[in-house]
Amino acid sequence: MATYETEFPYAEIRDGSGDYWQSLDDCIAAGYALSQVWSVTVTDIFVDSTVWCYGPSHHYVGLIGYIATSEHHDGETYYVEVCELDN
């Protein structure tokens, strides 16, 4: 398993309204392979930051939604982003 603490490196493809996809079925129906779908989860929330994780589509704890990418993933790679919040 590879985990990178960096911004998500791929262009995010979202649903027609620009929101996260709400289900895997919606992504598949839109023509994306399972290997192109990423789960977006919130793993930690602090006073001054939030930690987002982009990973394989099978995650559901802390799930915000799904995105698709043109690139295919290997099912074992994760990208962790720390987003600083303005107070």
Q: What is the pLDDT of residues 23-80, one digit of tens each?
A: 999 999 999 999 999 999 998 767 677 888 999 999 889 999 999 999 999 999 999 9
Domain limits for position 77 = 2-84
Give how many domains the chain has, as a whole number: 1
What is the pTM for the complete model shown?
Answer: 0.88
Spatial separation of the C-alpha atoms in residues 8 and 30, rounded to whole Å = 22
Q: Which residues contact 78 (CB under 8 A, 6 or more apart)?
A: 1, 2, 3, 4, 53, 54, 55, 56
Provide the pLDDT for residue 87: 60
